Structure 1
Amino acid sequence: MGLREKKAEKVRAAIYEAMIALAERDGYEAATVEQVAERAEVAVSTVYRYFANKDAILLDPIERTVGLLAGRLRARPETEDVAVSLGWTVRAALDMSPEELARLRRLRAQLDRAPGPRARLWDLVSRERLLLEDAVAERSGRDQLWNAAAAHLTLMIVGMAHDHDRESLDETAPADYADRIIMMLHAGAGAPIPARAPRADQDGRP
């Protein structure tokens, strides 16, 4: 990374930190781009050079990771079973330092209270899933349904691990909690996977 790129990263980080601090102090809806610029010690025009609006500022750490799961899957050995590669991909995504976890918790706390960014978050998750589905398809040799299910389940496991970290008093690390989910899903009998229901007859009875 060159000097210009390092400077740009520093400015982006300052703008984001200003946004999150103001949201924590006054609430996300009360924070303005002008306040963000003042706290970050940059011009308002500089904020808009990097971000279209304040929703984009708050979601920046997540938007910049879109495609990361797909990239990590592609980095796994091509001869490795795709399910095993997905397991390693999940662990790599969740194996965060205490500082990284603390930053993510701060962000998620604000997203819980900010309907606008939270709605846009679904678009980012959808993009992540589609990119992962494409990466799975490149490796699996399976049909579209299998690839889609693999991508959905992978994101579900990551999401459950993050939810557990935020909501539970259990201090299990997200990556280790994901391992527990994976082990449970592979347990066979007793795994909480919906079973196929028999078709109903014309009266709606099984």
Structure 2
Amino acid sequence: MGLREKKAQRSRDRIVAEAMTLFSRNGFEPTTMESIAEAADVSPSTLYRYYPTKDSIVLASFMGNTARFSEVFALSLKDLPVERALAEAIFAVLAIEDKEPKHALLVRSILGQSPAARAHLWDYLGEQQRELARLLAQATNTAPDDPANILTSRIALEVLLAAADIWRANKGKQSSRATAENLMTLLTTGAVLFPEAASTPTPPTPKRPASTKPKAKP
């Protein structure tokens, strides 16, 4: 990253930080873009160039952390089997909620109030799901559009989102990591009900390449 890009990133980070402070203090709707520009010490034109709406500022705060999912998953695959790498990616994203619960609760509260932000959020999560499916395909030597990869990537992201939703509903009384671990246990112990196809002969399950990664220590 060059000097200009670093300066621009610092400006974006400062805008998001100051905006979230104003949202917390004054509320999302009453806070104006002009007041955000003043607090971040940037011109209104600079603010609108980086973030055209308040929704985009809130979404940037969420996306900046969620983007770590694929990154951590790819790095974890070097030392862990696929299943454990998925778990570590989920924990990495949820860590911000345990570290900065007030910030995380504020972001999720605003996202819940803003239809525009939620629409952009689902588009972004769709991109994350496709990237995860691609990484899964590389790890298992299968095609990205393999139904197993598509379903696995969606389930992993759903565990992440469900853990965050439960954490928010409980006002952070239990750590988001512990909540995610509980959800993973429900999946692996058969406590979750899955849709069952009609009573037709079950086709053989394609054999997927066994993971060659070392098993994680308990």
Same fold (TM over 0.5): yes
Structure-1 residue corresponding to 2:158: 156
Structure-1 residue corresponding to 2:38: 38
Asked if the contact 1:28–1:113 (Cα under 8 Å) also holds between the matched residues in 2, the reply is: no
Asked if the contact 1:162–1:174 (Cα under 8 Å) also holds between the matched residues in 2, the reply is: yes
Structure-2 residue corresponding to 1:68: 68
Structural mapping, 1:1-206, within 5 Å:
7-24=7-24, 27-65=27-65, 67-78=67-78, 80-96=80-96, 98-142=98-142, 144-168=146-170, 171-188=173-190, 191-198=191-198
**Structure 1: tracts of 5 or more residues without a match:** 201-206
Aligned length: 198
Asked if the contact 2:15–2:47 (Cα under 8 Å) also holds between the matched residues in 1, the reply is: yes
Aligned structure 1 segments of 4 or more residues deviating by more than 4 angstroms: 1-7, 24-27
Q: Return 13-22 or 142-151, whichever deviates more.
A: 13-22
Report the TM-score, using the length of structure 2 for normalisation.
Answer: 0.77
Structure-1 residue corresponding to 2:210: none
Distance 1:170 1:61, change over 3 A: closer
RMSD (Å) for aligned C-alpha atoms: 2.7
Asked if the contact 2:28–2:110 (Cα under 8 Å) also holds between the matched residues in 1, the reply is: yes
Report the TM-score, using the length of structure 1 for normalisation.
Answer: 0.81
Asked if the contact 1:111–1:117 (Cα under 8 Å) also holds between the matched residues in 2, the reply is: yes
- Cα deviation for residue 76 of structure 1 reads 1.8
1:53 maps to a residue whose letter is T
- Cα deviation for residue 179 of structure 1 reads 1.0
Asked if the contact 1:140–1:147 (Cα under 8 Å) also holds between the matched residues in 2, the reply is: no
CA shift digits 1:19-75 (9 cap, x unpaired): 334444555344332222123232112212322333221211223345421111111
Q: Return 158-167 or 4-13, whichever deviates more.
A: 4-13
- Cα deviation for residue 15 of structure 1 reads 1.6
- Cα deviation for residue 122 of structure 1 reads 0.9
Q: Give the distance between the partners of 1:159 and 1:97, measured in 2 at CA.
A: 12
CA shift digits 1:179-205 (9 cap, x unpaired): 1111111113xx2232414269xxxxx
Q: Give the distance between the partners of 2:198 and 2:84, measured in 1 at CA.
A: 32
